[in-house]
Amino acid sequence: MAMRRPSESVLPGFGLSMGITVAYLGLVVLIPLSTIFLRSSSLGWSGFWQVVTSPRALASYRLSFGASLLAAAANLVFGVLVAWVLVRYRFPLRSLADAVVDLPFALPTAVSGIALTAVYSRTGVLGGPLERLGLQVAFAPPGVLVALVFIGLPFVVRSVQPVLQELDREMEEAAAVLGATRWQTVRRVVVPEVVPAALTGFALAFARALGEYGSVVFISGNMPLRTEITPLLIMTKLEQFDYAGATALAAVMLVVSFVLLLALNRLQAWTRARAGMA
Amino acid sequence: MSAPRVTEDARWVRWTLTGTTLAFLALFVLLPTAAVFHEALSQGWRVFALALVDPDALSAVKLTLLTAAIAVPLNTAFGLAAAWCVTRFRFPGRNVLVTLIDLPFGVSPVISGMMIVLLFGTKGLLGPWLAAHGLRVVFAVPGIVIATVFVTFPFVAREIIPFLEAQGTEEEEAAHVLGASGWQLFLRVTLPNAKWPILYGVILCNARAMGEFGAVSVVSGHVRGVTNTIPLHVEILHGEYQFAAAFAVASLLVLLAGVTLVVKRAAEWKTHAALSATRAAMREQR
């Protein structure tokens, strides 16, 4: 589509739709978000620093960022696998499996939380056997990881799936005819095409995991310094009416996740450019 | 069965990968979902039914329906306006606008709820003014509605924008040339064409509005029978060790998720068909 200035488009309604969009966006999103930075600046720099580097805050970042990265990485592996199988293979129950992928997205987080807790607690179907093997999942850090992998799964699958569907099989055939083994074909032809989409999915899963609250609070046990994620620490501060402290932590989370996503965006642009050149 | 193609994986690879996928989805996703119903019925149908007709549960259902009934139409109207604006016109700052629309997706639900408290709470920016006029937003129903509107803000816009972009403007321009007014072409051309993607966005928006937990939890104050939505009611029951009742109420939300997925499927399929039809028509013209 050609670039057009609003005045060049023959269609009416620019002023009205633009007015509604900007006014509603400002009212619902931008003004409320800006209050966070307004409030956290009321602490002053030293007060701010003290809150955001307290041992409890540092422990919560470690868990939140660490578990979110691990979960997004796990989703990258399983997501690409699931997408590949759903697109390339034909097997019974395929459309059911395809629908099941969306369940974590459609289930309210509180429901995912209590359901995962029931399954992975000591008395649960999986929690019991795992605990006998010496791995406590619910009410321990692995529980946080399980919840975050669960909620992040659809993001990678749904990012990669359309790319695999559009992928030109003739390229693979050409590679095979030219004598590449199947493994070489996959590595040299398929993987470069899939990487940008997989990274998008990874970034989405990571961002979602970082902010996640509902599914984690039930399964984590919420022990300060051990299984307390940053959103929960923010919640605790809010319940104690420590608004300045809560906003300081929120500002840290917003800035760090923004920077990380920006970095991933650059990485994605870079891989795309490289794939285009190769 | 045709001869194996060179682009096909060896049988053992296919079987291993398919087996792993099915096992992973069954154990990791289906099992927890099934556990909801198993736990809900663990003490029999009577406990299950009683949990659903409990007055507090009913009031939670009512509040959830009310919240969705406000948030979904608002965000749908916004989604239509935003989609029209960014797909039908090119203007400086357009990409920034599209990015800003997605912003609420990047904000933790807890932080979303906190913003409402910072704005409307007793110590918030508008708190004194609201108190002077006898209005209550935080720890009351309006706060829950506002938090839900924020959290579900991008859903409809996100689904319509790519569709309208892909569809192009030819039909609308034709209607315009033939003398249709702006509203006429919007109501007679754009809306009917985009009805499935709109439905798709609406159903996702609705699912999130009814299921939102974190943001609503911050602003609700958890007053039983007054400011509890269905997810908050589930949390309270779970916290009181009334597990069968908690899972019984949660099973309502699982059913909602099921309905959401079915409608989503249908809408996805119809959207795809509409786009292919547009592409075919465009090819024919050339």
* Contact residues on chain A for B248, CB-CB shorter than 8 A: none
The values of phi and psi at residue B134, to 5°, are: 70, 25
pLDDT of A223 over the 70 cut: yes
Tell me the mean pLDDT in the region A102-123. Answer: 94
Using CB atoms, which residue from A11, A109, A124 is nearest to B169? A11
User: What is the maximum alpha-carbon separation in chain A?
Assistant: 70
pLDDT of residue B5: 61
Tell me whether B178 touches chain A (CB under 8 Å).
Answer: no
Average pLDDT over all residues of chain B:
89
Q: What is the DSSP letter of A53?
A: T
Q: Which residue of A has its CA nearest to B80?
A: A17
Q: Which residue of A has its CA nearest to B78?
A: A21
Q: How confident is the model at residue A2 (pLDDT cuts 50, 70, 90)?
A: very low
Closest-CA distance, B51 to chain A, in angstroms, reads 16
pLDDT, tens only, B25-62 = 999 999 999 999 999 999 999 999 999 999 999 999 99
Contact by Cβ (8 Å): B251, A131: no
Q: pTM for the complete prediction?
A: 0.90
Q: What is the DSSP letter of A43?
A: G
Query: Looking at chain A from residue 159 to 178, which residues have their Cβ under 8 Å from any Cβ of chain B?
Result: 169, 172-173, 176-177
**Residue A177: what residue type?**
V
Tokens of A244: 């300045």
pLDDT of residue B260: 93
Average pLDDT over all residues of chain A:
88
DSSP A173-221: HHHHHTT--HHHHIIIIIHHHHHHHHHHHHHHHHHHHHH--HHHHHHH-
Using CB atoms, which residue from A28, A106, A126 is nearest to B149? A28
pLDDT of residue A33: 85
Closest-CA distance, A179 to chain B, in angstroms, reads 11
Tell me whether A187 touches chain B (CB under 8 Å).
Answer: no
Tell me the mean pLDDT in the region B250-269. Answer: 92
Q: Which residue of A has its CA nearest to B118?
A: A35
Using CB atoms, which residue from A4, A177, A238 is nearest to B89? A4
pLDDT of B74 over the 70 cut: yes
Contact by Cβ (8 Å): B177, B185: no
Q: How confident is the model at residue A164 (pLDDT cuts 50, 70, 90)?
A: very high
pLDDT of B1 over the 80 cut: no
pLDDT of residue B2: 46
Tell me whether B130 touches chain A (CB under 8 Å).
Answer: no
Q: Which residues contact A82 (CB under 8 A, 6 or more apart)?
A: A97, A101, A153, A157, B21, B24, B25
pLDDT, tens only, A45-63 = 888 899 899 999 999 999 9
Distance CA B270, CA B192 (A): 12
End-to-end, the C-alpha distance of chain A in Å comes to 27
Tell me the mean pLDDT in the region A185-211. Answer: 89
Contact by Cβ (8 Å): A210, A253: yes
Contact by Cβ (8 Å): B225, B154: no
Question: Poorest-confidence range of A216-225, A263-272, B157-166?
Answer: A263-272
Query: Looking at chain B from residue 40 to 69, which residues have their Cβ under 8 Å from any Cβ of chain A?
Result: none
| Helix (H) / strand (E) containing B240 | none
| Helix (H) / strand (E) containing A157 | helix A141-166
Using CB atoms, which residue from B6, B81, B247 is nearest to A173? B6
Tokens of A227: 């299984």
pLDDT of B171 over the 60 cut: yes
Tell me the mean pLDDT in the region B81-102. Answer: 89
pLDDT, tens only, A25-35 = 998 888 888 88
| Helix (H) / strand (E) containing B94 | helix B94-102
pLDDT of residue A187: 85
Q: Which residue of A has its CA nearest to B179?
A: A11
Tell me whether B245 touches chain A (CB under 8 Å).
Answer: no
pLDDT of residue A8: 63
ipTM: 0.89
Contact by Cβ (8 Å): A113, A215: yes
The SS3 call for residue A248 is: helix
CB contact under 8 A, B110 and A39: no
Domains assigned to chain A: 14-43 (no CATH), 44-277 (1.10.3720.10)
Closest-CA distance, A269 to chain B, in angstroms, reads 16
Tokens of B263: 């409608």
Q: Which residue of A has its CA nearest to B139?
A: A239
Tell me whether B234 touches chain A (CB under 8 Å).
Answer: yes
Q: Which residues contact A138 (CB under 8 A, 6 or more apart)?
A: A116, A117, A120, A121, A122, A124, A127, A219, A221
Task: Return left, alpha or beta for A246; rule: phi > 0 is left, psi -120 to 50 is alpha, else beta.
Answer: alpha
Contact by Cβ (8 Å): B46, A208: no
Q: How confident is the model at residue B6 (pLDDT cuts 50, 70, 90)?
A: low
Q: Where are the domains of chain B?
A: 49-285
pLDDT, tens only, B172-227 = 888 888 888 888 888 988 899 899 999 999 999 999 999 999 999 999 877 777 78
CB contact under 8 A, A231 and B110: yes
Distance CA B212, CA B109 (A): 8
Distance CA B214, CA A208 (A): 13
pLDDT of A177 over the 90 cut: no
Q: How confident is the model at residue A110 (pLDDT cuts 50, 70, 90)?
A: very high
Using CB atoms, which residue from A11, A81, A235 is nearest to B17? A81
Superfamily the domain B49-285 falls into: MetI-like (1.10.3720.10)
Chain B interface disruption, residue of A60, A114, A125, A215, most B CBs within 10 A: A114
pLDDT of residue B3: 45
Query: Looking at chain A from residue 61 to 90, which residues have their Cβ under 8 Å from any Cβ of chain B?
Result: 78, 81-82, 84-86, 88-89
pLDDT, tens only, B100-116 = 888 888 889 999 999 99
Q: Which residue of A has its CA nearest to B268?
A: A99
Q: How confident is the model at residue A1 (pLDDT cuts 50, 70, 90)?
A: very low
Name which residue leads in pLDDT, A260 or A254. Answer: A254
Tell me whether B20 touches chain A (CB under 8 Å).
Answer: yes
Distance CA A242, CA A37 (A): 15
DSSP B117-142: HHHHSTTSSSHHHHHHTT---TTSHH
pLDDT of residue A168: 79
Distance CA B169, CA A41 (A): 47
